[in-house]
Chain A
Amino acid sequence: MHELSLVQNLLQQLHELAEEHRKTRVLTVYMCIGPFSGVVIDSFEFGFETLAKESQLTSEAVLIIENPDAGYRCCGCNTVIKHKHKQKTDQCPNCSETLLIPEGGDELILSRVEME
């Protein structure tokens, strides 16, 4: 549910960027949302669809979300193992260590905005 307040932050940031760059329409918004960011992407998209309509600046904006893979650092050999869709294996493929700590993946970043 906090996705809605994060979308509000995003829209606020878009308004500030538009003013700074003297643009009147946001075309595309590129976000990077990691698997450990605590954000449900579907909810974020739904929030964006709902709230972006309320302003002329963002009413036609398209949201594109990049979702990087999760990483786990092995406590045995220090390798970072990448996984698709949060699927964590129980063991390090290199050294069979079972202690794997999530690393990175907490991105919640506005990467780029296309405006005109």
Chain B
Amino acid sequence: MCDSCGCDLKPDHTHDSKMIEVHQSLLAANSAMAEKNRAHFDSSGTVVINMISSPGSGKTTLLEKTIEAVGSSIRIGVIEGDIETERDAERIRAKGVPVIQLTTGGACHLDAAQIHKGLHLLEKEKGGDQLDILFIENVGNLVCPATFDLGEHHRMVLVSVPEGPDKPAKYPKAFHSSGLFIISKTDLLPYFDFPVNDATADALRLNPKLRVIPLSATSGDGFDRWLDYLQDICRKH
């Protein structure tokens, strides 16, 4: 044990050391970049939505159906985040809207620096510099993406009916930090034990301001409320 501080960590250490007070968030660099992104989106009048969910909850399908439904009334662009492949971007591109695929090469989330790169790439795509709404489809993961501000205006979280109703209770941060909770694939409710009211109540306990929209992109059930939400946020921006 050393004499000057009583520590038993390093018996041989000397005390010509210095304690440096830092008190800075590890996310400071990401947050600064996120603010830059937000300022950029504000100046171009684009509303940005960060979509967070587990893999397979139906984010890309929801986007495909949304693009079909709004037609030319809302100009939509998409930044796709995946660990590998261009597949999601190809699906969106087939719908005729500007899209950029970011592959993280193993990383489990998108960060603000990647979005910064992505938004400049997107602006080079046809129509990519004149968007009403930019969707950022985050890497399928309900944990890590919740920690990283990308510079979005709205954050939404999706849970599909086959995943089960206990996601809000198990992954509180994603629900606590989101403004909208979509329960997707409601056409499968007859086949799964998914009490919509319980899932909604769990989510609202974490975040009383959360808006909840159950919908099915396949049957179109609940889709009106989703489109109303999109028009609403465009109007208010």
Contact = CB atoms under 8 A, between A and B. Distances in A.
Contacts of A101: 206-208
A23 interface: yes
B206 A102 contact: yes
Contacts of B111: 5
Given A13-B26, A99-B205, A38 B144 contact: yes
B189 interface: no
Contacts of B13: 27, 116
A28 B13 CA distance: 12
B74 interface: no
Contact of A111 (B18, B23, B29, B207): B23
Given A6-B26, A109-B26, A114 B144 contact: no
Interface in A3-52: 5-6, 9-10, 13, 17, 21, 23, 27-28, 31, 36-39
B97 interface: no
Given A75-B208, A102-B176, A112-B20, 18 more contacts: A2-B108, A2-B143, A2-B148, A9-B30, A13-B22, A13-B24, A27-B17, A36-B172, A38-B143, A38-B144, A38-B146, A39-B147, A108-B27, A111-B21, A112-B22, A114-B18, A114-B20, A116-B17
